[in-house]
Structure 1
Amino acid sequence: MGSSIPAGLVAIGAGLLFAANAQLFDDRENRTPQNLVELVQFETAKLENREKAVSALRDKVDQAIAQAGQDDDQKETHPSIFGYLDREMTGDAIEVQLWDAPKTTVESGAFDPNQLVVHQQDVEAIMNALWAGGAEAMTVQGQRLASTSGVRCVGNVLLIHDQRFSPPYVITAIGDQKKLKAALDASPQVHIYRQYVAAAGLGLSVTEKSAVTMPAYDGTIELNYAKVLEGQDD
């Protein structure tokens, strides 16, 4: 199995490289040489500085990758990153259920029918808020997910791990219950959904659960990342 690299480390490395390039190339108009000799000297110095900066940042990225590649140690010391995906987890949890508006609301004609059903974005809003709230493990419809997992809706059918599920949709997260609920309250997307709950009768329940056991995650946790090819440094 290849090294599993936290997406945040790769993003940080990429961001540093982009920032370095932007900084090295800004203010070009204010530093224009007056003759050819000055131009050559200026461009040579600038290139040397850029190569030094890129080399230093590449070393930082390599160090981050090497550290993150220690899968066993990382899983033990950083459960918030890996979520103990390779094993069952038991703990206190928050359970969120979402369901479509009742048939009577649909038949009233007061709302666009599209506003009366749970959409993929609604499920994702709950998931994202719970991850942001420090969820240590999560299931949707009983299916264990990683923080990089996604769900997909086709009509009012939710697809997870090649299985189909209909409402109500149940999202459960193990973690600090107060922090998880606070994260739901702080999410702008969840706030919008709650407005439709009040106005149109969409379904939402948030319940505290004790001693919830979640199965091990059976998907892949390997993240692919870019590598510098040998002989391609120039």
Structure 2
Amino acid sequence: MEYTSGAASWQKALRRAIAALLRRPRQSRPGWSVGVPLIAAAAGLLFTTTATTAGGTALREDRRPQLNQLIEDRRADVASNEQRAAALRREIENRTTSLAGSDGPIRDQQTRAAGDRQSAGFTALSGPGVTVELDDAPRRSDGTLPEGATNDDLVVHQGDVQAVVNALWAGGAEAMSIMNVRVLATSAVRCVGNTLLLHGRVYSPPFKIVAIGDPAALQQALADSKGVREFRDLVDDYKLGYKEYASSTVTVPAFEDSTTLRSATVPR
């Protein structure tokens, strides 16, 4: 179907509808016979408006490819900026170390900061611990859902990841990582759809969480967690993925993102 542009189309349709009404003899007639020309006029107005708005393009064009490309471009930008930031941090550390050789106050502060690096999460650690993996349920080949389930029931949510993280901290975890990224007290776990957003980077399932600590205590904390138990119940119902295993040695990396302070107080 082709649309004409401008106001001429709907005006022409309206004139035809009025003319049709005037040509009919004045007699009692059903309401629908009067309404049909008016509906036709309204349809002509609607088609003209749609054509004008579209401007020769599809109103429902699928923009997912452009969105996916935009996401990939932004990921590349983030990765490039992270590399540049890491290089600048190394340069600052090297210059500070160089100055510390001849400046006593800088040397003292550098020594004090070095003593806090491990507890602050800026050094890699290894030791006994527990690994937990959470994954979405596999899709059925015929595209149907399990009885009584919705799409939301078949994916890992922010609350599921947070439940595992909180349980491991409560179980005495000394250090932790998610997707091989060090987690600190200030780290925020967020989900966007079925992806995980952590320190500005996006990760897809399965989500791997590693914690250093007493394996028995960590596993007991997971068993005691209401949120973890609820997720494990869905593993049986909807085939969500849950793996938990203890190891004699696990490793969590050092925190490598920005350490810029947003607030601080002077110790007394």
User: How far 1:223 sits from its partner (Å)?
Assistant: 7.8
CA distance in 2, matches of 1:135, 1:221: 25
Matches within 5 A, 1:187-226: 187-219=225-257, 220=259, 224=263
Q: What is residue 148 of structure 1 aligned with on the other side?
A: 186
Q: What is residue 91 of structure 1 aligned with on the other side?
A: 127
Most deviating of 158-167 and 125-134 = 158-167
Q: Highest Rg: 1 or 2?
A: 2
User: How far 1:115 sits from its partner (Å)?
Assistant: 0.8
Equivalent residue for 2:158, pick from 107, 117, 120: 120
Q: In the alignment, is the contact (CA less than 8 A) between 1:146 and 1:221 conserved in 2? A: no
User: How far 1:72 sits from its partner (Å)?
Assistant: 6.6
TM-score normalised according to structure 2 size: 0.51
Matched, 1:108 2:149: no
CA distance in 2, matches of 1:137, 1:121: 20
User: How far 1:134 sits from its partner (Å)?
Assistant: 0.6
Q: What is residue 216 of structure 2 aligned with on the other side?
A: 178
CA distance in 2, matches of 1:173, 1:222: 26
CA distance in 1, matches of 2:260, 2:217: 25
Long gaps (5+) in structure 2: 1-111
Runs of 4+ in 1 over 2 A off after TM superposition: 70-73, 218-227
Q: What is residue 56 of structure 1 aligned with on the other side?
A: none
CA distance in 2, matches of 1:119, 1:102: 15
User: How far 1:222 sits from its partner (Å)?
Assistant: 5.8
The structure showing larger relative contact order (alpha-carbon pairs under 8 Å, at least 6 residues apart) is: 1
Q: In the alignment, is the contact (CA less than 8 A) between 1:120 and 1:152 conserved in 2? A: yes
Q: In the alignment, is the contact (CA less than 8 A) between 2:188 and 2:199 conserved in 1? A: no
Matches within 5 A, 1:39-50: none
Q: CA RMSD in A?
A: 2.5
CA distance in 2, matches of 1:108, 1:72: 54
User: How far 1:197 sits from its partner (Å)?
Assistant: 1.0
Letter of the 1:214 partner, please give it: V
Q: Deviations over 1:57-114 (max 9, x none)?
A: xxxxxxxxxxxxx8776x49xx8xx3x5121101111000000111129623411111
Q: In the alignment, is the contact (CA less than 8 A) between 1:135 and 1:180 conserved in 2? A: yes
Q: Deviations over 1:190-228 (max 9, x none)?
A: 11111111211111010112322222112449684789x
Q: 1:161 to 1:200 in 2, by over 3 A?
A: same
Number of residue pairs matched by the alignment: 152
Q: In the alignment, is the contact (CA less than 8 A) between 2:187 and 2:199 conserved in 1? A: no
Long gaps (5+) in structure 1: 1-69, 228-234
Matches within 5 A, 1:11-90: 75=116, 82=119, 84-90=120-126
TM-score normalised according to structure 1 size: 0.58
CA distance in 2, matches of 1:95, 1:223: 32
Q: 1:86 to 1:99 in 2, by over 3 A?
A: same
Matched, 1:131 2:169: yes
Matches within 5 A, 1:153-164: 153-164=191-202
CA distance in 1, matches of 2:129, 2:260: 23
Give SS of 2:231's match. Answer: helix
Q: What is residue 13 of structure 1 aligned with on the other side?
A: none
Most deviating of 151-160 and 136-145 = 151-160
CA distance in 1, matches of 2:174, 2:238: 33
